[in-house]
Structure 1
Amino acid sequence: MIPYWLLSCLLYLSISSPKLSEAKQKATVLITGGGGYIGSHTIAEMLDDKYSVVVIDNLSNCYAFNDTEKPESLKRVEMLTKKKVIFHNTDIRDSSGLNKLFKSYKFAAVIHFAALKSVSESVRKPVEYYENNVAGTNSLIQAMKNNNVKKLIYSSSATVYGSPQYLPLTEKHPTGQNITNPYGKSKYFTEEILKDLSYSDNEWKIILLRYFNPVGAHPSGLIGEDPTDIPNNLMPYLSQVAIGRRNHLDVFGSDYPTPDGTGIRDFIHITDLAIGHLRALEKLTNPAFKGCRAYNLGTGKGYSVLELVKAFERVSGRRINYKLTERRKGDLAIVYADPKLAEKELNWIAKRYIDQMCEDTWRWQRQNPNGYQSDQDEP
C-alpha cells in the first residue's frame, strides 16, 4: 500500500511544481541544523532556487530512522524538489568534524539554524542552552575562520529584545535588557559575539534574522513541524489536540493586559520565513554589503492565543478543547514586529496570514498524524 503522504507528494509534484528553468546552478551553502522545522523548509526553497546545500544536524530535534540515515524531513525535501541533499550527522561543537567538512566542500556561505530552542526548557536547563547555542556557535565560526568562509546568516529570535519598551519592535529597539529566559539570552550573547567578530575583521559579512513565532507547513503537507517530544510551541500542540493525540491545550495566562486576556504574538508562516533566508542570502553575497546587520522577520500584526485557537477551529472544523492556566515563567504579554527594514533592504514581505497558517498546519497534521514516524515505523 502506498503511504498517503507519498501519494500527496506525487500529486503535488504533478500539479503544483513549476518547471525547472535552465538557469545556472548557484553556490553551495552549509546549513547547520537543517533537519529541523525551519531548516528543512528553507532548504526546500533554496533547492527550488538552484542553490546546492550541505546539511549537518546531530538529530537531537528531528526524526531519522537511525543515526546513519538522513532525517525523514530531508528525504521528503528531496522528493519535493527532485534535488539531492548532502547530509552529515555532525554536531556544531565537534571542531574536528567541522574542519574536515569545510575542507571537503567549497562553501560560499553558512546558514546557522542549529540550536536548542525551547523557552520553557531553557529555564530548567540554562547550562545546556549556553553550551550548545553559544559555545556551539563559537566552534562553528572558528571553523569558518580557519577555512576562510566569512559569510554567515544567523537564526536569531525576537527574544533578544526582552520586555518591549515600545511596539511594534524595530531593529533599533535595545537588545539584551530584561530578557526573561536563558534561550533569549543565548541568542543575545551570540549576536554580540557576531557583532564583535564583524567589527574585528571587515571581511566578515553577517546577517542576523530575528524571527517572530514561525508556524504553518509546506503547502504540500509533506514537511512540517514535528516535535520529538511534547510540543513547546503553540501551533503544533494545538494541531495535536485537533487530531486527537492530546486531550486539551493549556493556555498559559488569561489575565494579560490584552483584549481577551491571553498573550499576543506575531505569527509568521514558515514559507515566508524560509523565503526571507533567500533574500538575506542575496543581500549577503552582494559585494556592496558590509559588516553585521539585523532584520526582523514577522508580519507586523499580533494575534492572541485564543484568536489562533478560533482560527484553527474555523479551518479544521474541529473543536479545540483548552484550559486557561497560570502564566508561564518567562512569557511576555505582547510581542510583534515592525518588518519594514526587511521590506526595504531585503525586498521581503510576509504574504501569508493566519488562515493559511492554520490551513497548511492542518493539512500537514492530517496527512502525518504521528509526524514523520507515521510510515517509517509501520511493519
Structure 2
Amino acid sequence: MALYDRTILVTGGAGFIGTHTVVQLLSEGFTVWIIDNLDNSVLEAIERVRDLVGAELSRKLHFNLMVFSSSATVYGQPDKIPCVEDFNLMAMNPYGRTKSGQTPLRQCQCSLIPCLPKYSLIPWLKLFLEEIARDIQKAEPDWKIILLRYFNPVGAHESGKLGEDPKGIPNNLMPYIQQVAVGRLPELNVYGHDYPTRDGSAIRDYIHVMDLADGHIAALRKLFTSEDIGCTAYNLGTGQGTSVLEMVAAFEKASGKKIPIKLCPRRAGDATAVYASTEKAAKELGWKLMAGVSPAAALSPATQPLPTASPVIQPVSTPSPSTQLFPTPSPFSFSVATTGLALLFSFVSALSLTVTAPSSGRAGFTKYPELTYCLVVTILALTYSAFQLCKGICDITHKGFLISDRVSDYSSFILDQLVGYLLASSSSVIIPAIQRLEQTALWKAGIVSVCMSFAAFLVTAICALFSGYKLCKRVIW
C-alpha cells in the first residue's frame, strides 16, 4: 500500500487543531474520516475544510496505528527547562493529571463525575489516555502509537477560513485576546503577575497550529515507514518561551488595538515556565517549524479576530490568487455582486419617485396610494440590500458581523423571499396607477420605478435561490 493510500481517523476533527490537521492530511492525499461530538466546535468547520480541499470524507475504517494528542501539561512544574520527553510526568493541574494518567480515579471521585461542570468533566474522562495507549501497545505489539505532546497552539490557516473561535469563554490565551479585541469580552484576565520571570507573567511555548498540523503528518510518516516504534512520545513546540504579557504586546503591535488587562492572582497548578525541547521530534520525525517561532507568528493576518469566517478562499491544491492569472470567483462573491445590483435597482426606483414627487405636488401620492406603497417597499428593499451588501463585504475583508453562518443562512433565505414578494407586489400594484397618470412627470417616474422594482425583484429572487442552495446543502450535510 502506498504511503498516502491510507485512511486516517481524526477524533475531534471539527475543532481548532483538528480542522487544521485535516486540511494538511487531505492536501497530502490521505483519505480522512472525522469523528466529533461538536461539543466545542461547529459543523460549519467541516464544511469549510471541504471547501478548502474539495474532498469528501471516508466512511469505513480499520486501523492499528495511532497518533494521540497529549499535552505539555503532563510535565507539570518541571525541575528544569526545556522539557525533554523522558522527564518524569509531574502534572500539577487536573488537565495535566488527565493527560499523564498520574492519579487513578477512586470510586467516590467517579460517582461525582456526572455532577461536575462540563469543563471539569472532560479532563477527568481523559485521565488514563496516555497509559491506556501504552497498555494497548504492550498487549498487542502490532500496534504502533505516537504520543504528540502539544505545547500551546496559536494562529490559524493562512486562508482565514479556519481558526480558533470557541464556544463560550475561551480557555486559551489567543482566542481570549481576540474576543477582547472585537468587544465580545471586556478585558483579559492575566493570572499571575509575580512569577520569577522577566515580566512577572507565566512563560509558555506558543506554536503555530499549522506547524502542529505538520507534526501530525510527520508522525504518520514515521508510523508508515518504521517498524520498531512501540509507544513513543514527542514534543511539539518551538523550543522558545514567551510570556503572557509579551504575547499581549505582540498582538497590540500587530493589530493596532489596545487590549485592556486585569492582573489576577495565580491559579493553583499553573507552572511558572514551560517550553519544549524539540530535538527528538526534529531528529526522528524530520519535523521542523515552518510558520515561525516568534510571538508575531501567532498574529498572521489569518488570526485577526474573526466572528465569522471569510467566504473568499482558494483550495489548498491551487495557487494563491496572487499567482493565478484568472482566479476562479467565489460563489459568495457572486452573492455580494447580486446584492449590489439589488441595492442599485432599489435606489434608482426610490429616487425616481422621491425626486419627481415634489414637482408634481402633494396630490400625486394622495390620489395614488399605489405610489406610496411602491416607495415604501423600495425603501425597505434598499435598506435590506444595503445591510446584506455591508455584511458580505465585511465577511470578505475578515471583519464579519457577530452572526453565525447558520443564522445568516436561515435569515437570508426567509428575508430574501419576503423582500422579493414585496417587490413583485409593488410592481404589479403600481401598473394600474401608471395607466391613469397619462403623460406626466409622475407617469414617467412610475415607469422607471416599476422597471427598477421588477429588476430588483429578479436579482433578489436569484439571491433567494442561492440562500436556499446554501441552506439545503447545510441540511443535507
Shorter-chain TM range is: 0.7 to 0.9
Q: The residue matched to 2:194 in structure 1 has which SS? A: coil
Could you tell me how far apart the structure 2 residues matched to 1:26 and 1:300 are? Answer: 33
Match for 2:223: what amino acid? L
Could you tell me how far apart the structure 1 residues matched to 2:245 and 2:405 are? Answer: 33
Match for 2:98: what amino acid? S
2:188 pairs, out of 236, 239, 249, with 249
Aligned residue number for residue 405 of structure 2: 375
Deviations along 1:350-369, one digit per CA (max 9) or x if unpaired, are 23232121124533527646
1:224 pairs, out of 156, 163, 179, with 163
Could you tell me how far apart the structure 2 residues matched to 1:58 and 1:343 are? Answer: 33
Aligned residue number for residue 73 of structure 1: 45
Q: Is the 1:222–1:364 Cα contact (8 Å) retained in structure 2?
A: no
Give RMSD over aligned pairs: 2.0
> Going by fraction, where is strand more abundant, 1 or 2?
1
> Going by fraction, where is helix more abundant, 1 or 2?
2
Could you tell me how far apart the structure 2 residues matched to 1:371 and 1:191 are? Answer: 41
Aligned length: 290
2:212 pairs, out of 270, 273, 289, with 273
Q: Is the 1:74–1:85 Cα contact (8 Å) retained in structure 2?
A: no
Q: Is the 1:266–1:303 Cα contact (8 Å) retained in structure 2?
A: yes
Aligned residue number for residue 108 of structure 2: none
Aligned residue number for residue 157 of structure 1: 71
1:43 pairs, out of 22, 32, 35, with 22
Range with greater deviation from structure 2 (41-50 or 279-288): 279-288
Structure 1: runs of 5+ lacking an equivalent: 1-22, 64-70, 87-103, 108-148
Aligned residue number for residue 270 of structure 2: 331
Q: CA deviation at 1:289?
A: 3.6
Match for 1:159: what amino acid? T
1:33 pairs, out of 12, 15, 27, with 12
Q: The residue matched to 2:17 in structure 1 has which SS? A: helix
Matched, 1:349 2:288: yes
Aligned residue number for residue 197 of structure 1: 136
Match for 1:180: what amino acid? M
Match for 1:152: what amino acid? M
Range with greater deviation from structure 2 (229-238 or 369-378): 369-378
Matched, 1:82 2:42: no
Matched, 1:298 2:210: no
Match for 1:299: what amino acid? T
1:173 pairs, out of 71, 81, 87, with 87
Aligned residue number for residue 97 of structure 1: none
Match for 2:141: what amino acid? N
Aligned residue number for residue 105 of structure 1: 60
Q: The residue matched to 1:365 in structure 2 has which SS? A: coil
Q: Is the 1:242–1:318 Cα contact (8 Å) retained in structure 2?
A: yes
Match for 2:57: what amino acid? V
Structure 2: runs of 5+ lacking an equivalent: 102-128, 310-398, 412-477
**TM-score using structure 1 length:** 0.73
Larger Rg computed on CA atoms:
2
Could you tell me how far apart the structure 2 residues matched to 1:195 and 1:370 are? Answer: 45
Q: CA deviation at 1:44?
A: 0.4
Q: Is the 1:218–1:271 Cα contact (8 Å) retained in structure 2?
A: yes
CA distance 1:169–1:370, shift in 2 (3 Å): farther
Q: CA deviation at 1:372?
A: 9.3
Q: The residue matched to 2:252 in structure 1 has which SS? A: helix
Aligned residue number for residue 346 of structure 2: none
Q: CA deviation at 1:191?
A: 1.2
Could you tell me how far apart the structure 2 residues matched to 1:339 and 1:180 are? Answer: 22
Q: The residue matched to 2:175 in structure 1 has which SS? A: helix
